[in-house]
Structure 1
């Protein structure tokens, strides 16, 4: 049960966007740039970074949502099943699946940096950065990995700090993932504004 009356039946961060569209805009703009804008990191790779951080933060909604978004955008040669009932029950388990997947050494090194950020920004050491550089990571990729990890610590705490609802049915997440893969994050802002306008009459 959410800590405040949100006035809508949306799950997770969507319910907060519908409650406060004014803050939904910049939050969605940021995630659209970080996870979907042109980059040398594939969209699914960036979603995997978000998933890993959310799992470490034990945020069920964000972990399962971004796991679904990652899986919806995977290339055919990467097999990864993260949208399962056990993940919804315990988001902390996603790490083993991610690290066992056929991902590049560069992505593994970037995930290590993201894990450090999740603990503390000060845990990102020169050694971690050099390991990622040795695997071909660029300055922009290093920058974006740190910002994705930091941003998702914020998103996770936003979602859980107001005790939003995390659906138990994996299909809820996979359906949203199909729409996200096609349309991105920004349509939710229009939906939130429309809901606000309707509520005001």
Structure 2
């Protein structure tokens, strides 16, 4: 049972955004820039970082959501996402992405856990300053999002189809933009 009344019936962060739309705008804008904006990391790779950190934080809703969003945008699909989260993806992801995920895991433990050695390892694998920066910011933002969702005890559906449908919407329209209404549907 959520700690605040979520009358929209929406799960997770979507319900919280409906409860407090004035905070939804800036948070959606941050997610849009970090996960969908121009970047040398693909949208799928950035969603994978979000799913990975959410998994480390044990946030069911954000893990399931961003795993579905990553899977929809990565050639290896959900199998790859699951193997990355389990630490068994090996050579299925680049050494650069492996190094960036190590940075993301360090951020999840605490900001000061990101060491010069971790950054040097990522750079040695070809990571740019922007990629290191954005990895740290994605990881930090998802620690906040995860705590927001879990701290208010939001509902996380068990049905993977809910997350697959959300993935279609996010991949097509982005964050903060509802899917267009079908003809004859009420708003």
Check whether TM > 0.5.
yes
2:84 and 2:157 map into 1 onto residues whose CA distance is 17
2:88 and 2:23 map into 1 onto residues whose CA distance is 31
Instruction: Say yes or no: does 1:131 pair with 2:129.
Output: no
1:98 and 1:182 map into 2 onto residues whose CA distance is 30
2:129 and 2:148 map into 1 onto residues whose CA distance is 29
Q: Which runs of structure 1 show a deviation greater than 3 angstroms over 4 or more consecutive aligned residues?
A: 97-101
Asked whether the 8 Å contact 2:68–2:78 carries over to 1, the reply is no
Equivalent residue number for residue 74 of structure 1: 74
2:121 and 2:158 map into 1 onto residues whose CA distance is 38
Residue 74 (structure 1) shift: 1.3
Instruction: Say yes or no: does 1:57 pair with 2:54.
Output: no
Equivalent residue number for residue 43 of structure 2: 43
Deviations 1:109-160, CA, capped at 9 Å, x for gaps: 0000000000000000010000000000000000000000000000000000
2:78 and 2:10 map into 1 onto residues whose CA distance is 27
Residue 81 (structure 1) shift: 2.5
Asked whether the 8 Å contact 1:50–1:149 carries over to 2, the reply is yes
Say what the alpha-carbon RMSD is for the aligned residues.
2.3
Asked whether the 8 Å contact 2:80–2:89 carries over to 1, the reply is no
Identify if the C-alpha distance between structure 1 residues 147 and 109 changes in structure 2 by more than 3 Å, giving closer, same or farther: same
Identify if the C-alpha distance between structure 1 residues 158 and 82 changes in structure 2 by more than 3 Å, giving closer, same or farther: farther
Identify if the C-alpha distance between structure 1 residues 58 and 82 changes in structure 2 by more than 3 Å, giving closer, same or farther: farther
Equivalent residue number for residue 177 of structure 1: 167
Residue 52 (structure 1) shift: 0.5
TM-score by length of 2: 0.90
For structure 2, the 5+ residue unaligned runs are 182-186
TM-score by length of 1: 0.84
Q: Secondary structure at the match of 2:7?
A: coil
1:1-201 mapped onto 2 (5 Å cutoff): 1-75=1-75, 78-81=76-79, 95-96=85-86, 99-100=89-90, 102-188=92-178
